[in-house]
Structure 1
Amino acid sequence: MSYQANNTKKKFNLDEYVTVNERIASFYKKFPEGRILTDIVSWQDGVIVMKATVYRDNGDIPAATGHAYEKEGSSFVNNTSYIENCESSCIGRALAVLGFEIKKSIASYEEVANAKLNQDSKETKNNNNKIVTSANKNLLLSAASKKGYTKDVFESMLEKKYNCNLSNIDMSTFNTVYSNLNKAQ
């Protein structure tokens, strides 16, 4: 979603986008009898395509549709939740097509956040493969907290097991640690 304009790269601004849950709330406020249906269009080799159909009432005439696709493992979120992410994205796009909560794009907050994480990841790789964003650090700390680790215990584990800490962890180690923290027990 980044683009070239006059040879300058546009950065993602998450403040310009609206979350899907905000779009859904606005939709049901305006159309209390409305409904949102999702369908899997295709799903193979870790790639899913979904379609959302939005109805203003309980009739058979759709007001809008939206499509999305996600690839398993293509981002931090998609390591564990690519199906859910895809469903949210197609719903957000369908509601945006219908005119709900559009500021500057029909992309959902989640789509832009995912793209921003990917952009930050690429920028990080260009900076000696270090994690430089607070978002990545917060993802690790949140996942560690869910597993019962305090920040101090988690950082000690990083030192002992991976010979790094939150300030110097590389993307490869980050992906390994994050994946391990999110594995089912």
Structure 2
Amino acid sequence: MANFNLNDYETVEQRLKRFWGDHPLGAVITDIYRVSDDHKNVIIKASIWFDKSDPMPAGVGYAQESQGGNGPNSNCWVENCDTSAVGRALANCTYSGDKRPSREEMAKANRGAQSDGHQNDSPRQGPPAQQNGGAPRLKCQDCQKALTSGQSTLSIRNTGGEFCLDHQKGKTNGR
């Protein structure tokens, strides 16, 4: 069993209630970012706007889920991924409570620790880039320089890949 108490973590629903209380004119938008060729793996991108008329989102988050298992991912894996992405986007714009991961993420980490026989008391922080080549890695593909979430998002939008400002020059995404 992992060394953390799920009750110490805020749910995505709690984060959303605080967000909507603070930003009634805001927006939460999710998109399917990538689906695997076998349609058993999905990456969802969630974007949070404090005001829906803002030109850029206040926070963006990505989540990855795979279909299968005996739990919720046996038939609700896309919905779980959507919720996780929203929770990560909210955390990226200061709606994370005392701890950055949501209760749902920690429950997932706990399930993973039980299924693979390892303890997981330090869940993965940041986008699922290291596990899936399609998600943001938050590093320049050319020089490995660290990128912020915003830099990564803009680079992907503008070039189709993750590049620091120096390496974005001359690269376009079909524009």
Interval of TM-score (by shorter of Structure 1 and Structure 2): 0.5 to 0.7
1:47 aligns to 2:41 (yes or no): yes
Could you tell me how far 1:102 is from its partner in structure 2?
2.3
Distance in 2 of aligned mates of 1:30 and 1:77: 31
Could you tell me how far 1:10 is from its partner in structure 2?
5.8
Q: Which runs of 5+ in 2 are unaligned?
A: 119-175
Could you tell me how far 1:120 is from its partner in structure 2?
2.9
Are the aligned partners of 1:17 and 1:108 in contact in 2 as well (CA < 8 Å)?
A: yes
Cα deviation, 1:65-107, whole Å, max 9, x if unaligned, reads 00000011156221111100000000000001111132122x2
2:7 maps to: 15
Could you tell me how far 1:35 is from its partner in structure 2?
0.5
Distance in 1 of aligned mates of 2:29 and 2:5: 29
Distance in 2 of aligned mates of 1:120 and 1:90: 23
Distance in 1 of aligned mates of 2:116 and 2:62: 26
Q: Secondary structure at the match of 1:116?
A: helix
1:88 maps to: 83
1:30 aligns to 2:22 (yes or no): yes
Q: Larger Cα Rg: Structure 1 or Structure 2?
A: 1
Identical positions, percent? 35
Determine which of 64, 71, 74 is the counterpart of 1:79: 74
Could you tell me how far 1:108 is from its partner in structure 2?
1.7
Q: Give the letter aligned to residue 46 of structure 2.
A: A
* TM-score (ref. length: structure 2): 0.60
How many pairs are equivalent?
A: 115
Q: Give the letter aligned to residue 33 of structure 1.
A: L
Q: Secondary structure at the match of 2:17?
A: helix
Change beyond 3 A, Cα 1:28–1:86: same
Q: Which runs of 5+ in 1 are unaligned?
A: 1-8, 125-185
Structure number having the greater helix percentage = 1
Q: Secondary structure at the match of 1:84?
A: helix
1:108 aligns to 2:102 (yes or no): yes
Q: Give the letter aligned to residue 71 of structure 2.
A: F
CA root-mean-square deviation: 2.1
Structure 2 matches for 1:1-185, cutoff 5 A? 11-44=3-36, 45=38, 46-59=40-53, 60-74=55-69, 76-105=71-100, 107-123=101-117
* TM-score (ref. length: structure 1): 0.57
